[in-house]
Chains A and B, each alone.
Chain A
Amino acid sequence: MSGFVDALVAHEFLQRSLAAGLLAALAAGIVGPYVVVRRISVIAGAIAHAVLGGIGAARWLHEVHGWTALRPVHGALAAALLAALAVALISRHFREREDTLIAAVWAFGMALGVLFVSRTPGYARDLMSDLFGNVLLVQPSDLWLMAGLDAVVLAVALVWHRQIVATCFDPEFARLRGINTELVHLLLLLLAAVTVVLLALVVGIVLVIALLTIPAAIAGRLTRTLGGMMALAVLVSAGLTSAGLAVSYGPDLPTGATTIVLAVALYGLVLAGGGLRRLVRG
């Protein structure tokens, strides 16, 4: 552990990695509880996988067509927001079963990504870090973008929290109070999309769903209000991304996968603790 601290002081890329984890934790802690109580984690999963299409397109435009200003994270953001819009609009206007739609968005994004990979020289090498994350590659410009996205998530949650809560708890009653629940649902999906992009930079798109839901689920076992759940989920997420970095650095393990294993282990402990308490109480 002291080895990690020394390395952290010495290496700027490690400081950036730590900062990226903390910035992603803020959005994940706020949005994760919404996703968990509204039970839309599978939609978030679809958005996460659709992100590969955007990353692939951005890398392709960058490498093959010389769009040098375009970075993978820009493609990721565009793809995530588009996927969220698509799920919201198609399920509303075509009355399609939502789970079928989610599966289509999920696979379509991945398929697009693979097509772009095949047409972009050298991309196959980077594919693993897009899929499973490589937080050590985070750039200073990524951190600024992450901070900006965090500010957006925080502002939206602060202003519309009660409308979101009302819609999640009882959409019909919310409609009777004059709330546009379809718009609130879309807002929630867009928040999830932004958060997915932040988390994908840290743990990769395949593992996003775990870091979005597990800290919120852990917090939900320990607190009884949504606000409390958010505060605790931010702390748990921050602890997990930091611990993932620290634990993986020495033995040179993949940081994203290490973080997820730690998250699931903690979740298991909290669940087991709850079970044990019930047993003791009889």
Chain B
Amino acid sequence: MSAVDAVRLERVRFGYEPGRPVVEDVDLAVPDGGFAALIGPNGGGKTTLLRLIAGLLEPWSGTVRVYGRPPRAMRGAIGYVPQHVDVDARFPMPVLDAVLLGRLGAAPRPGPWPRRDVEAARAALAEVGLAGMETRPFAELSGGERQRVLVARAIACEPRLLLLDEPTAHVDLVAGARFQDLLARLRRRMTIVLVSHDLGVVSSLVDEVICVGRRVAVHPTADLDGAVLSELYGDGHALVAHRHDLREPGA
């Protein structure tokens, strides 16, 4: 593992309207090979932070670095997974073509896809458990399947850093459980940052929980308790008891 952090934010400030910052004074770092979750209330700025890391947004002030460079310079190393409700569900496209978009770059690519790209896309589909679905229309898939296609598309980019926005929102419980297995496999070969409101996903897998509510607090998973959460969400939120697997840093 290299010494440089996969993600590093320093004094980042950003908002969509002048004078109304959504995130303020954010400092955070995710080491190479780490797995961090951004959690927090709706509208707290989790997705905004993820989009800043991806380079889809430019901070008002402060710096965002991915492997020590601006995110736009590291695009090729980033795999981004939006929520499946953010893409056009009725778009007429077979599943394999959707995954192949992960192999696309800025240069025009007329003609058939090179075999190497097709193989990478098929492997990514197999990885998310959708082998054999290559020719199915994207529009006919369930929400959970669509979400997995979007993960496959990001894997097809062969990223060092995988960013996922609420991967288990809008999917059923069974799909959610399969998702956890998938993430557990993927974390062995890439750094993962995911946005989630689902503490169940967070607690069993990740090294680090980053609580986002305008300002940001970083906790090792093991420290996650009622006091932290009530500070973040406000009082009156019930915390469901669950165990944490304590991991050694970098394990």
Chain A interface residues (CB < 8 Å from chain B): 33, 37, 158-163, 165-166, 168-170, 172-180, 220, 223-226, 228-229
Q: Is B20 an interface position by the 8 A CB rule? A: no
Q: Is the CB of B106 within 8 A of A180?
A: yes
Q: Is the CB of B91 within 8 A of A173?
A: no
For A170, list chain B residues within 8 Å (CB): 82, 86-88, 101
Stretch of B32-40, B92-100, B187-195 on the interface side:
B92-100
Q: Is the CB of A177 within 8 A of B88?
A: no
Q: Is the CB of A168 within 8 A of B92?
A: no
A220 to B56, CA, bound (A): 32
Q: Is B75 an interface position by the 8 A CB rule? A: yes
A contacts with B: majority SS: helix
Q: Is the CB of B110 within 8 A of A158?
A: yes
Give 12 pairs: A residue, B residue, CB < 8 Å, sorted on A: A37-B90, A159-B110, A162-B104, A166-B101, A169-B87, A169-B91, A176-B54, A176-B80, A177-B106, A178-B75, A178-B105, A224-B137
Shortest Cβ distance from residue B95 to the other chain A in the assembled complex, whole angstroms:
11
Q: Which residue of B lies closest to A159 (CB)?
A: B108
Shortest Cβ distance from residue B157 to the other chain A in the assembled complex, whole angstroms:
8
A176 to B159, CA, bound (A): 12
Q: Is the CB of B88 within 8 A of A179?
A: no
For A159, list chain B residues within 8 Å (CB): 108, 110
Q: Is B78 an interface position by the 8 A CB rule? A: yes
For A172, list chain B residues within 8 Å (CB): 56, 80, 82, 86
Q: Is the CB of A169 within 8 A of B101?
A: yes
Which of B80, B88, B98, B102 is in CB contact (< 8 Å) with A37?
A: B88
Q: Is the CB of A162 within 8 A of B109?
A: yes
Q: Is B144 an interface position by the 8 A CB rule? A: no
Q: Is B143 an interface position by the 8 A CB rule? A: no
Which of B56, B82, B90, B94 is in CB contact (< 8 Å) with A225?
A: B94
Q: Is B153 an interface position by the 8 A CB rule? A: yes
Q: Other than A158-B110, A179-B105, give 17 A-B pairs with Cβ distance below 8 A.
A: A37-B90, A162-B108, A166-B104, A170-B87, A172-B56, A172-B80, A174-B101, A176-B55, A177-B101, A177-B105, A177-B106, A177-B157, A178-B105, A224-B137, A224-B139, A225-B97, A228-B92
Q: Is the CB of A169 within 8 A of B108?
A: no
Closest 10 CB pairs of A and B: A178-B106, A224-B137, A170-B87, A159-B108, A166-B101, A169-B91, A176-B80, A177-B104, A162-B109, A158-B110
Shortest Cβ distance from residue B158 to the other chain A in the assembled complex, whole angstroms:
13
For B75, list chain A residues within 8 Å (CB): 176-178
For A168, list chain B residues within 8 Å (CB): 88, 91
Q: Which residue of B lies closest to A184 (CB)?
A: B106
A62 to B109, CA, bound (A): 43
Q: Knowing A163-B108, A169-B87, say if A175 contacts B56 (CB, 8 Å).
A: yes
A169 to B98, CA, bound (A): 9
